[in-house]
Amino acid sequence: MTASLAAAGAAGTAPGPGPGPAPARATATPPATPAPAPARGARGARGSALLSRTAVNAVLLLVAAYALMPLAWLVLAATKNRRDLFATDPYALGDFSLLGNLGEVFTYNDGIFGRWLANSLLYTVVGSTLSALISVACGYAFHAYEFRHKEKLFGVVLAGILVPATVLQLPLYLMASAAGAVNTYWSYLVPALVNPFGVYLARVFAEGYVPDEVLAAGRVDGAGELRLFAHVSFPMLWPGFVTIFLFTFTAIWNNFYGALTMLNDERLYPVSLGLFMWNRSVYQQPELYPLVITGSLVAVVPLVLAFLGLQRFWRSGLTAGAVK
């Protein structure tokens, strides 16, 4: 048994066939990862977004064309004489007669059109300024003060927005007639001072622009309420004031029905009512047709200038209150 164990030990320790290089270990090579194929879902999403933008831009172009085509016709028609106005295509150019047409507009009937234009500027500038100031003061009061039935009163103001202006013309006419103010500047100007929508906007602006902490600090420093409004709050509310002014300016400038109800003297007419009276007479006096078109073009200019001159204020004011 001892010999067997010795023989087994000798066999286990016997040298091998000879020295040689150690066998190399086999390393597993990972399979190559295939390049990812472009995702069909991403391409579909990009195509859908492009299609959506194209559709939206097409709709916007149609809306812009619909809005600008009448203005383009007005500009082109105002440059034509009476013969080209009816003999040429509506969007074709004719003999350039704009300066002559303007001269006829401002000299016809002793220059009554210039008086109408001045009346419109008086009504709109004075009325819009006072109306915007009243609206801002009321909106500021709804924001800055607590008083009894405040929200109920503000609900009444909101209800006034829902009432069409034409519904109020007959009651306003009866009130002006009882006061003896019919056919005066006041009968057209005073109703324009009341603007429920302006009060609503002014409160929104005040909540977005005038922090309560500023008002509290001003009262601690001894500022009175009138001074606090005029010197602290009103400068903050200036974008809101300009926005309400522009909205009211447009509304008063285009207030044809109010002028038709209240005014009988053509020397008091605004430009919208005056052009209507000219247009009503074109069948008896065809020479008035170019005057109506050119006068309409002139009547658009103050609105365009007002918006271009004050756009940096009202554009910033439109976002007031959007973010808390």
Complete DSSP assignment for 23-81: PPPPPPPPPPPPPPPPPHHHHHHHHHHHHHHHHHHHHHHHHHHHHHHHHHHHHHHHTS-
What pLDDT score was predicted for residue 297?
93
What is the average pLDDT across 84-104?
Answer: 86
Residue of 172, 176, 192, 187 lying closest to 131 (CA atoms): 192
Q: Per residue in 1-33, pLDDT tens?
A: 444 434 444 444 444 444 444 444 545 555 555
User: At 6, which amino acid appears?
Assistant: A
Mean pLDDT of the chain: 83
> Residue 307 and residue 98: Cα distance in Å, rounded?
24
User: At 238, which amino acid appears?
Assistant: W
> Is the model's pLDDT at 322 over the cut of 70?
no
What pLDDT score was predicted for residue 260?
92
Of the chain, the percentage scoring pLDDT greater than 90 comes to 49
> Is the model's pLDDT at 113 over the cut of 60?
yes
pTM above 0.95, yes or no: no
Question: Residue 216: which residues within 8 A CB-CB, separation 6 or more?
Answer: none
